[in-house]
Structure 1
Amino acid sequence: MTMATTSEAMNSGVRGTILAVDDEPDILVALEDLFEDEYRVLTTSRPAEALELIAAEPDIDVILSDQRMPGLTGDALLAQAREISDAQAILLTGYADISAVVSALNRGGITGYVTKPWDPALLRNAVRGAYERHRLARDLATERALLRGLLDHSGDAIAFKDTEGRFLRLNARMAARLGAPSPESCLGRTESEILGAGADTAEAADRAAIASGAPTETVAASGPEAAPTWNQVTRVPIRDPGGAVVHLAVIERDITEQRLLETRLRQADKMQALGTLAGGVAHDFNNLLTAILGSLELALPKVAGDARLSRLMTNAAQAAQRGAALTKRLLTFSHRRDLQARVVDLNAVIRGMDDLLGRSLGGFVQVERSLSDDLWAARVDPDQLELAILNLCINGRDAMPEGGIVALSTRNETVRGSTDPNLTDGDYAVIAIRDTGTGIPPEILGRVFEPFFTTKGVGQGTGLGLAMVFGLVQQSRGTIRIDSAVGRGTTVLLYLPRSREAVEASPTAPAAPAPAPRRARVLVVDDDPQVRHVTASFLNGFGYDEAEVPSGEAALERLDAERFDIVVADLAMPGMSGLDLAEAVRARWPSLPFLLVTGHAEAARIPADFSVLEKPFPSADLAARVAALLAPEA
């Protein structure tokens, strides 16, 4: 273990403290060098020693832990640390191990994860954000403790008792909690005399606080299990001049809203971290799918005479297309893919799903519709909305193993003064999906939007369905509500803000690509050889003269030596990215058309005046975009 310098330790009152845990000494040295100018840094290569440090150092603000360590993995270490420390936690990993990240999120309470090798600026920002959140949480806790003693006329339920539990004084809110008509009616009586047997737990806690002589704080829930009320109860023994406990102050505070907000915050943190993971792997998924789909499209005409082989290859292509749809849903969930939003008639979207719902739900489920004739329009991605509705209908079907009814309805609703912080005042078009199934138990209802949480058996569900719906509605500036009870089915409500713009027509399908003009020369740039070969083969099949290079640097060398009519380049490449290449080409050859191809989540950062094609793509889309960029008017 190494420690910060003496001068830094003396300044620990104003400097944050970081604990770095990694079994590789070189990594610890690098972390210490990165942060020692800004923070007091503690390091250790042994997880067991890390837990001892955490227990002995209450001022640790941020824990940086490697995932793969002998003896104790990072997610397990952070789970144990969470029990003894309120420090923020960041997981360092050199592996795309999603199970470890999910475990660290759920057990270790991490605020994020950083992959090795890390970007120093990104890691500094992650640690700085974690440190600021930790300091803010501690400052807020201190302020709450100071204010509690000043709020004599607050909304808290406050009472003073003697050592026998008899009320000496109490405010009106405490009397109301006891069900008494007035505070005066409680004086000289104990809680058991007022409430009966229901006061046993509270009186036991009173006696324990008096016996310990120290203030205690407990949190307890009351009311129905589906919608409990949470109360924080503080008991403060009051001593006489001789030091004997003679009275007990009891302060009860309703923290139900705080609990709900904390739950939402934890949910948002989980979605943000897993969204980052989803966006990071999307590029690799889309490259694989581009190579698979492109190769199948190129191969299918060559086996046209073999019906069995054609059918097998078509099945493979359809499966790959489903994989592409799943990747797009992941990116929508991660908030890293631009929705193709437009003003739509929601009723028309639902009516257009007749065949899709019929094929997906089967004959045991009856679909009913009740669509409002004057439904307001909304701005939303219609394709993603179809996926969301289909997902919710399939969930309803799965909740009705013996068959039943899935009812789709729409209505207009004006919201004013909602208690839901996610539902702001305004006009909404509401889509309701109701089933007559088994319903959702209260203990599960609060978790249904958690990524990868599912009650279905292995292989029957990914746990991403409702998380995807949540991501779509949030990106559309709406919200989602679920009303469910065991035995009476479930209703899911999608609130989409009203749009006062005219409904936009559906985009028309691209026309068949024209033959290559004047045997145009195309430079294909992609670091993935399989994707590069597929793209070049597509262009060759449409009559273009194509050339391939594996990097942006190689592309510039080729452009210096030869003439090309257009450049088609991947966005995410090591070294010079596609966007860097596009800007270099624009500066040196401003009239040369350029098409960026991307399967990455960062497409939203591309300037609007650059032409972009998303992976995976069919050959016709690629040819149409290239032909359009080569057209004289372009």
Structure 2
Amino acid sequence: MSEGMTAGEERGTILLVDDEAEIVTALYDLFEDDYEVLSTTSPSEALSLLHRHPDVAVILSDQRMPGMNGDQMLAAARAHSRAEALLLTGYADLDAVVSALNKGRIAGYSPKPWDPVALRGMVSGAHERWRLARALEKERSLLHGLLDHSPDRISFKDAQGRFIRLNAAKAASLGSDPRSSLGKREEDLAGLDATTRRDADRAVFRDARPTEEVASEEGEGGARFLSIRRVPILQNGKVEFLATVEHDVTEQRELEGRVRQAEKMQALGTMAGGIAHDFNNLLTAVIGNLQLASRRLPEEDGRLRRQIHNATRAAERGATLTQRLLSFTRQRDLDMQDVDVNALIVGMEDLLLRSLGGLVSVTTRLAAEAGFARIDPGQLELALLNLCINARDAMPGGGRILVETRGLLVGEGEASDLSAGRYVVVTVQDEGQGMSPDVLGHAFEPFFTTKDVGKGTGLGLSMVYGFMRQAGGAVRMQSTEGVGTTVELFLPSSRASALSRKENEEQGAGDNPIGSLDILVVDDDAAVREVTVAFLRELGHRVVAVEDGSSALHQIGERPGLDLIIVDLAMPSMSGSELAEEVRRRWPGLPVLLMTGFAKLGGLPGSFVIMHKPFTQENLQNKILEVMSKG
């Protein structure tokens, strides 16, 4: 017995079995140029060879052999080999051939002595059948692997739209299973109005071109979006079948929506930041002059006082509107603090009652473990007030607003819009009219509002969105028409065991007598400069004012006794930050207070106290105390 060469991938492997060594040698010589040849004179050894060489393509065996006939050996070989079987026989024994056909499933037989050309042709045909069978088996394995394990919905249809193959995911979407779905159409299984999909399928059969579309469907968790790829399958140049692959792209669509929203905010922020800066300069002059004028009015002139008071309130509302612009465009720096969120909400109860009216009740459900958040308390209060006012407006006949808190731990990669870490979640829920999916998709866009003209700016939710993004958190909204709306704020948690917000305010309160100071005011806007100087002089300070950085440096050099410089951040030629850096370099002990109508503070030379425009005299006094207390 000899084994011949090792089986390879380039040439097929055949196994020769005959109890006569001379015949084995003759067959070996006949086939060794075209195949890898294994050979043996023992049927049992042939079975062992098949165990060790599962890639044998053709078995060529004698019929009559001692111990085990060829048909018996081939029948045993079927248990662990898919090789094509050919039988050699030197006897005209029809019964033996029939037995070999039945038991060994032989593909052909040849008498002895054989015709070399005919026998080579028989073996070549058998090898080709084996190769094609292997290729078909491979294709089937790949197809079944794809169908069985792909999370996508995959199906194959004929020209009448009937399923000829589909996977479990596709069948489950139709409320069925793969076996029961065969031969049926989608509308047969789910009772769907499948006109749109049927027309799309027919277009692929007609045009013989693949197509792709995104479709939506309603599910238990809301709307889902599917990318549907249709591919024609041709036979003899004609489209006979259609393959469809449906991939769930809901998460991708949501992420794209958030990216588009962020891009809108960035573009609008560039525009709104410049507008807000100029507007804040105007409001500083208006509010400041009104405040100064009100102190000079005769006490008995009540009518004029009311007019000035009304004008001041209108200007302050303009300042609030500008603040919202800066918040949703992330153009304003935040006063980040460790805030007890539950205490902040409790402290807002009176404000909410006064603001919302008697038809709406506010219920709180505050979890003790919610804890502290690292957030700007003023901006959080404004955000909650906006959400509650929106909730009230959604319930014109009255109703209940639920404000709830809880703690949440987010793992790495669990949420696309949140970093891993702990959050305090504040939920505002109403029982109002709710929103349609289309309105919900635009809810956070600036200036988008469903309220009547004059009743809404469309900036409330945009401000909340921008504030949460800037603070490192997120905002999510769910709404159902006729049921209500739920908004969740995800606030970055703080593990601080520091003083509560109220205690911090009390600790920071109190007098800090600094006396009369020599102050230099630097602002290119004459109206703002004039109001600032007037405020400072009323507070008892000695003031010099200039309009640009170069004049300021000259004055500082000429006045060694200066105690403080108040500088506008945005000025031509030399910006406030550049001036502050130069002052810190040349006069390191001279305090600087920066004031700004917007605040993109990246790139400042160091930590400075910032005062936002518009400001009142009280704001200015508090900021001076703050900057001077820093030494």
Q: Same fold (TM over 0.5)?
A: yes
Give the AA of the match of 1:445.
Answer: L
Would the alpha carbon gap of residues 616 and 212 (structure 1) be closer, same or farther in structure 2, given more than 3 Å must change? same
What SS does structure 1 have at the residue aligned with 2:487? strand
- In structure 2, the partner of 1:613 is 611
Give the AA of the match of 2:262.
Answer: A
In 2, are the aligned partners of 1:223 and 1:229 still within 8 Å (CA)?
yes
Would the alpha carbon gap of residues 162 and 377 (structure 1) be closer, same or farther in structure 2, given more than 3 Å must change? same
Residue of structure 1 aligned with 2:545, choices 548, 560, 563 = 548
- In structure 2, the partner of 1:273 is 267
- In structure 1, the partner of 2:165 is 169
Q: 1:182-202, CA deviations, whole angstroms, 9 ceiling, x for partnerless residues?
A: 2x4444444455445644433
In 2, are the aligned partners of 1:226 and 1:442 still within 8 Å (CA)?
no
Task: Note if 1:532 corresponds to 2:526.
Answer: no
Give the AA of the match of 1:409.
Answer: E
Number of aligned positions between the proteins? 481
Matches within 5 A, 1:420-459: 420-423=415-418, 426-459=421-454
In 2, are the aligned partners of 1:515 and 1:543 still within 8 Å (CA)?
no
Would the alpha carbon gap of residues 178 and 417 (structure 1) be closer, same or farther in structure 2, given more than 3 Å must change? farther
Would the alpha carbon gap of residues 435 and 248 (structure 1) be closer, same or farther in structure 2, given more than 3 Å must change? closer
The farther-off stretch of 195-204 and 154-163 is 195-204
- In structure 1, the partner of 2:486 is 491
The farther-off stretch of 603-612 and 493-502 is 603-612
Identity of aligned residues (%): 48
Task: Note if 1:376 corresponds to 2:371.
Answer: yes
Residue of structure 2 aligned with 1:355, choices 350, 375, 396 = 350
In 1, are the aligned partners of 2:338 and 2:372 still within 8 Å (CA)?
yes
Give the AA of the match of 2:530.
Answer: H
In 2, are the aligned partners of 1:344 and 1:503 still within 8 Å (CA)?
no
Counterparts of 2:428 and 2:187, CA distance in 1 = 47
Would the alpha carbon gap of residues 298 and 510 (structure 1) be closer, same or farther in structure 2, given more than 3 Å must change? farther
Would the alpha carbon gap of residues 189 and 372 (structure 1) be closer, same or farther in structure 2, given more than 3 Å must change? closer
- In structure 2, the partner of 1:155 is 151
Would the alpha carbon gap of residues 487 and 301 (structure 1) be closer, same or farther in structure 2, given more than 3 Å must change? same
Residue 327 of structure 1, CA deviation = 2.4
Counterparts of 1:267 and 1:586, CA distance in 2 = 40
- In structure 2, the partner of 1:588 is 586
Task: Note if 1:523 corresponds to 2:517.
Answer: no
- In structure 1, the partner of 2:227 is 232
Give the AA of the match of 2:580.
Answer: A
What SS does structure 1 have at the residue aligned with 2:273? helix
Residue 581 of structure 1, CA deviation = 1.7
Would the alpha carbon gap of residues 156 and 563 (structure 1) be closer, same or farther in structure 2, given more than 3 Å must change? same
- In structure 2, the partner of 1:601 is 599
What SS does structure 2 have at the residue aligned with 1:484? strand
Residue 587 of structure 1, CA deviation = 3.0
Counterparts of 2:435 and 2:454, CA distance in 1 = 21
Q: 1:286-336, CA deviations, whole angstroms, 9 ceiling, x for partnerless residues?
A: 211211121112111110422221222122222222322332332222222
- In structure 2, the partner of 1:86 is none
Counterparts of 2:156 and 2:358, CA distance in 1 = 66
Counterparts of 2:570 and 2:415, CA distance in 1 = 40
Would the alpha carbon gap of residues 175 and 417 (structure 1) be closer, same or farther in structure 2, given more than 3 Å must change? farther
Residue 512 of structure 1, CA deviation = 5.7
- In structure 2, the partner of 1:480 is 475
Residue 267 of structure 1, CA deviation = 1.5
How does the TM-score come out when normalised to structure 1? 0.69
Counterparts of 2:479 and 2:185, CA distance in 1 = 40
Question: What RMSD, in angstroms, separates the aligned Cα atoms of the two structures?
Answer: 2.9
Q: 1:104-156, CA deviations, whole angstroms, 9 ceiling, x for partnerless residues?
A: xxxxxxxxxxxxxxxxxxxxxxxxxxxxxxxxxxxxxxxxxxxx9x9776332
In 2, are the aligned partners of 1:510 and 1:624 still within 8 Å (CA)?
no
Residue 158 of structure 1, CA deviation = 2.5
- In structure 1, the partner of 2:504 is 506
Counterparts of 1:391 and 1:372, CA distance in 2 = 22
Structure 2: runs of 5+ lacking an equivalent: 1-142
Residue 419 of structure 1, CA deviation = 6.2
Residue of structure 1 aligned with 2:396, choices 389, 392, 401 = 401
Counterparts of 1:319 and 1:204, CA distance in 2 = 59
In 1, are the aligned partners of 2:333 and 2:600 still within 8 Å (CA)?
no
Residue 503 of structure 1, CA deviation = 4.0
What SS does structure 2 have at the residue aligned with 1:237? strand
Give the AA of the match of 1:160.
Answer: F
Counterparts of 1:628 and 1:380, CA distance in 2 = 20
Q: 1:220-279, CA deviations, whole angstroms, 9 ceiling, x for partnerless residues?
A: 2222598222222222223334x3323322222222222222222212211222222232
What SS does structure 1 have at the residue aligned with 2:593? strand
Would the alpha carbon gap of residues 177 and 576 (structure 1) be closer, same or farther in structure 2, given more than 3 Å must change? same
- In structure 2, the partner of 1:308 is 303
Counterparts of 2:221 and 2:339, CA distance in 1 = 36
Counterparts of 1:155 and 1:224, CA distance in 2 = 17
Residue 580 of structure 1, CA deviation = 1.5
Residue of structure 2 aligned with 1:246, choices 233, 240, 262 = 240
Q: 1:429-478, CA deviations, whole angstroms, 9 ceiling, x for partnerless residues?
A: 33222222222223322221122111001111111111111222233333
Q: 1:20-76, CA deviations, whole angstroms, 9 ceiling, x for partnerless residues?
A: xxxxxxxxxxxxxxxxxxxxxxxxxxxxxxxxxxxxxxxxxxxxxxxxxxxxxxxxx
- In structure 2, the partner of 1:218 is 213
- In structure 2, the partner of 1:290 is 284
Residue of structure 2 aligned with 1:573, choices 552, 571, 574 = 571
Counterparts of 1:405 and 1:628, CA distance in 2 = 42
In 2, are the aligned partners of 1:282 and 1:601 still within 8 Å (CA)?
no
Counterparts of 1:571 and 1:426, CA distance in 2 = 35
In 2, are the aligned partners of 1:392 and 1:433 still within 8 Å (CA)?
yes
In 1, are the aligned partners of 2:157 and 2:164 still within 8 Å (CA)?
yes
What SS does structure 2 have at the residue aligned with 1:356? helix
Would the alpha carbon gap of residues 386 and 179 (structure 1) be closer, same or farther in structure 2, given more than 3 Å must change? same
- In structure 2, the partner of 1:48 is none
Counterparts of 2:191 and 2:398, CA distance in 1 = 48
What SS does structure 2 have at the residue aligned with 1:497? strand
- In structure 1, the partner of 2:100 is none
What SS does structure 1 have at the residue aligned with 2:469? helix
In 2, are the aligned partners of 1:539 and 1:546 still within 8 Å (CA)?
yes
Matches within 5 A, 1:451-470: 451-470=446-465
What SS does structure 1 have at the residue aligned with 2:323? helix
Give the AA of the match of 1:167.
Answer: F
- In structure 1, the partner of 2:258 is 264
What SS does structure 2 have at the residue aligned with 1:592? coil
Give the AA of the match of 1:217.
Answer: E
Task: Note if 1:338 corresponds to 2:336.
Answer: no
Residue 424 of structure 1, CA deviation = 5.2
Counterparts of 1:527 and 1:225, CA distance in 2 = 60
What SS does structure 2 have at the residue aligned with 1:323? helix
In 1, are the aligned partners of 2:342 and 2:371 still within 8 Å (CA)?
no
In 2, are the aligned partners of 1:399 and 1:439 still within 8 Å (CA)?
yes
